[in-house]
Amino acid sequence: MIYLDNAATTKPCPEAVSAAAKAMTECFGNPSSLHRMGLDAQLLLDSARRTVADSLGTESGCIYFTSGATESNNLALRGASAAYGRKRKKIVASSVEHASVEETLQALERAGFEVVRISPADGRFSAADFVNACDDDTVLLTMMYVNNENGYILPVPEVFSAVKRRYPHIITHTDCVQAYMKLPVSARRLNAELISLSGHKIHGGKGCGVLYIRKGVRVLPVVTGGGQEKGIRSGTEGVPMAAAMGAAVAALAPGISERWERAVQLREKLVSLMSEIPGVEINSPEDGSPYVMSISAAGKRSEIMLHYLEQRDIYVSSGSACSRGAQSGVPEQFGITGKRADSILRVSITAETTPQELEEFAQALRDGINSVRG
């Protein structure tokens, strides 16, 4: 099996699996219980919290566990706009956000907010466009750090720093799902007040996400109940998956730059392999994340190619897996339309992907282009 769909989800690492197993078999108490079993579960949860906090260069009091990044994004946008958006009604966002942000923005639009979406010009985002779109009436600025469909790295640190200097009241949110554990993500350097993270994109297993909330920033809860996570996210904490995410972060955090180097080499390899196949075009920017590459396969429809590759036990995705094949509009934003957009495949690697796997993929792709019609 050659798994090249790591932007959709990753295989849980052994550390995460054993942490989850331990939490399920030994520390199965409810963290809210007053007795020792409860305390043990709480300590396990808090140690995961601390690991995540350390990785962001912040305190554990700023880390809130959720069920995943979709919930984190919902909580960030709905919660912050509810807390700060009574008078200020404008939200600035990028035009290429993940559905969990974009759909939430649309819901906020229906609730009376004005959303300004900044598009790339000639395939590039300009920091100035974001800064200039912000004003005194803006409550929230949200932009993803790394695009999930093509690996484009948005100028989050520049934009947030410039915006916070001029408009300290604007709450800055970034969806770092595809950046976390791949690029250095430091709350301070990004100048972000809200950061969404996902466990299952970093080998931590599905069912756990994180919202970082900078100290002093208010977010009103979306889910109410027993007051867990300081009342920000009620519901008995998912200790096993949080522990798994913590274990994955602990295992990955020290090697971010080495893995990046390896990913860059793999990407170079992939680029040269793709350039040898007639009709294959690369849609990702050269300076994007090496972990995600969007290609267009010579006009062959994405889904057909995907299933062709699947027959060869090679797994990639058509655009973004979350949108289940539906076109997201992101390629269009980057100027990719028509047949080229219909034939997009997303190849997303990990640092552990081998050059041989890429070669096999390239061969299969070449064969597919030659044999598949449509």
Partner 1 sequence: MKEIILVKYGEMALKGLNKKSFEDMLTKNIKRRLKSLGSFCYTSAQSTLYIDPQLDENGNIADLSEVAERVGRIFGIAAYCRACVCEKDFSDISAKAADYLSDTLSMARTFKVNAKRSDKAFPMKSPDICRELGAVLLEKFPDLSVDVNDPEVTVTVEVRDTNAYVHAENLKGAGGLPVGSSGKAMLLLSGGIDSPVAGWMIAKRGVQISAIHYVSPPYTSDRARLKVEQLCERLTDWCGGIAFFCVPFTKIQEAIRDNCPEEYFTIIMRRLMMEIAQRIAAKEGCLALVTGESLGQVASQTMAAMACTDAACRVPVFRPCIGMDKTEIIDIARKIDTFETSILPYEDCCTVFTPKHPKVRPKLENIEAAQAAFDFEPLIREAVDGTEMKLFTPGYKAESSF
- Mapped onto helix, strand or coil, the DSSP state of residue 31 is coil
Write down the least CB distance from residue 57 to partner 1, Å: 8
97 or 193: whose CB is closer to partner 1? 193
Q: What is the DSSP string of 63-93?
A: EEEESSHHHHHHHHHHHHHHHHTTT--EEEE
Half-sphere exposure of 207 (CA within 13 A, CB side): 13
Write down the least CB distance from residue 292 to partner 1, Å: 27
Kindly identify the residues of this chain, within the stretch 338-357, that bind partner 1 according to CB under 8 A: none
Closest by CA position to 159, among listed 186, 181, 191, 136: 191
189 or 206: whose CB is closer to partner 1? 189
Total chain residues near partner 1 (CB under 8 A):
17
Selected range binding partner 1 among 37-45, 119-127, 292-300, 350-358, rule: CB under 8 A: 37-45
- Give, in order, the Cα–Cα distances in Å from 217 to each of 79, 93, 194, 197, 362: 11, 19, 9, 18, 48
Give backbone dihedrals phi and psi of 28, rounded to 5 degrees, phi first. Answer: -90, 10
Write down the least CB distance from residue 9 to partner 1, Å: 28
Q: Does 43 bind partner 1 (CB under 8 A)?
A: yes
- Give, in order, the Cα–Cα distances in Å from 316 to each of 117, 171, 349: 29, 36, 10
Residue 322 designated active-site: yes
Letters for 204-233 (x = contact with partner 1 by CB under 8 A, - = none) are: --------------------------x---
Q: Which of 9, 18, 30, 47 binds partner 1 (CB under 8 A)?
A: 47
Write down the least CB distance from residue 46 to partner 1, Å: 5
Selected range binding partner 1 among 42-50, 124-132, 200-208, 357-365, rule: CB under 8 A: 42-50
Q: Does 50 bind partner 1 (CB under 8 A)?
A: yes
Determine the Cα–Cα distance for residues 308 and 367; give it in Å rounded to an integer: 10
Determine the Cα–Cα distance for residues 303 and 344; give it in Å rounded to an integer: 9
Residue 177 and residue 201 in contact, taking contact as beta carbons nearer than 8 Å: yes
Determine the Cα–Cα distance for residues 207 and 196; give it in Å rounded to an integer: 14
Identify any residues that bridge with 180 across adjacent strands, giving them in sequence order.
183
Selected range binding partner 1 among 45-53, 89-97, 140-148, 173-181, rule: CB under 8 A: 45-53
Catalytic position from the list 62, 134, 208, 322? 322
Q: Which of 8, 13, 41, 42 binds partner 1 (CB under 8 A)?
A: 42
Q: Which of 32, 124, 132, 165 binds partner 1 (CB under 8 A)?
A: 165
Residue 306 and residue 295 in contact, taking contact as beta carbons nearer than 8 Å: no
**Residue numbers at the binding site for partner 1 (CB under 8 A):** 34, 36, 39, 42-43, 45-47, 49-50, 60-61, 165-166, 188-189, 230
Active-site positions? 322
